[in-house]
Structure 1
Amino acid sequence: MLLLKAKQIHLTSLKKKVIKMTGPKIYTKKGEDGTTGLFSGERVNKHNIRIKTCGNLDELNVWIGMIRNFKMDKNTQNTLITIQQELMSIAAQLSDHRAYEVSKKKHTLKPTDKNNVVFLENQIDLISKELPELKNFIIPGGYRIISHTHLARCSCRKVERLISELNDKESVPNVIIAYINRLSDYLFTLAIKFTYDMDVSEIKWIS
């Protein structure tokens, strides 16, 4: 009897701790026809190049988040968080052909500018100063954090290709193209940094 009473008290306590979710539901059922909404309200197919681009930006962001799960120096950790924030911003800017200009005029979000590109270049230069000159292509691998960083680099290259394709159809700000290009360089440099930090032997590709 006492045990039953204790269980009832415990369950009552748990119920009090449950926080009810308020607001709109996570599902809208609007995408069941294979379309999704843009910033303008227009609906397009989910295989639309703009949607593919934003989806792959999301994937890239996840890969970078996975890199952050590993132990690393504070500057690298903070740099990766800054990059993730910017990728979210870029996805928002590319969510519609008008989004970039609207964000500049209405200050709804800070548009990507040359300072973002310079930030990546500075980080690349900072890392490169501590690394020996690279004279060979490197076979990716050696340790999980290194492989994850190379996967992020490959994901970034995929985003770059999609943005290039989108730019053929609808204009993409040059600074966004430059940022993604520089980001892939940063991720490559970061992978090499991790290789040396962990004293992992590189496997050089020799043709």
Structure 2
Amino acid sequence: MIEFERVTTRGGDKGESSLFNGERRVKDDAIFEALGDIDELVSWLGVIKADISASPVSGISAFSSQLHEIQKTLMRFSGQIATPKNDKLYEKMAHLSQQDLEALEASEAVLLKKTKIGSAFVVPGQCHLSSEIDIARTICRRAERRVVTCIRSSYLGHLALGQNYLNRLSDFLFVLARWVEQAG
């Protein structure tokens, strides 16, 4: 764990921030937009985890640890985004893997078997918890679009697996929200 002596550095006061390797970029760079959306998503998943502990929905507590693992996976992916691929740091860090993607797909498939998905558009708001999950889903979709921008505009094709993961995660969250509505 990294220990900080201070949080405020004033290094960003002029509208710039640093990648993990120290490279400076403007704060509205596509990379920081993607990182910000993923950070927001990780935070919303934390809100959902906290609310799961108080939820009367039968069987929902099993998803708390899964959401925690998803948060950790997203944080690993953020590290990949924030570190140039040609940097030595990139080689040493844990990366999002094909196994992460396959595990998410398998979880969605299991959940989908327990959930009825209609053909009509869903209007969120049947319950508080499913609404929070839908918010996380929409943030996830935005994060995916930001990653696509990074891939296309910054030639960061190595992030494609992460884009796929975000795509599957939004599907998983959609199904989870519908399951919560039906189980509650």
Q: TM-score normalised to the size of structure 1?
A: 0.78
Q: 1:184 to 1:51 in 2, by over 3 A?
A: same
Offset at 1:175?
1.2
Tell which deviates more after alignment, 149-158 or 40-49.
Answer: 40-49
Q: Is the 8 A contact 2:60 2:180 kept in 1?
A: no
- Tell me the residue number matched to 1:126: 110
Aligned residues: 174
Aligned position for 1:180:
166
1:95-129: CA deviation from partner (whole Å, max 9, x where unpaired): 033278843x33x3x21111011111111111111
Q: C-alpha separation between the residues in 1 aligned to 2:63 and 2:87? A: 28
Q: 5+ residue gaps in structure 2?
A: none
User: Amino acid of the residue matched to residue 189 of structure 1?
Assistant: V
Alignment match, 1:78? 65
Cα shift at 1:159: 0.3
Distance 1:115 1:130 in 2: 23
Does residue 149 (structure 1) correspond to residue 133 (structure 2)? The answer is yes
Structure with greater Cα Rg: 1
The answer to whether the aligner puts 1:57 opposite 2:38 as a matched pair is: yes
The answer to whether 1:135 aligns with 2:119 is: yes
Moved over 4 A (4+): 99-102
What is the Cα-based RMSD across aligned positions, in Å? 1.8
Aligned to 1:191: 177
* TM-score w.r.t. length of structure 2: 0.88
- Inter-CA distance 144–163: structure 2 relative to 1 (3 Å threshold): same
Secondary structure of 1:69's counterpart equals: helix
In structure 2, do the counterparts of structure 1 residues 46 and 197 end up closer, same or farther at CA, with 3 Å as the change threshold?
same
What code does the residue aligned with 1:131 have?
A: T
Is 1:88 the counterpart of 2:75? The answer is yes
Native 8 Å contact 1:93 1:100 kept in 2: no
Structure 1 range deviating more: 34-43 or 90-99? 90-99
Structure 1 unaligned spans of 5+: 1-21, 199-207
Helix, strand or coil at the partner of 1:31: coil
Map of 1:47 onto structure 2: 28
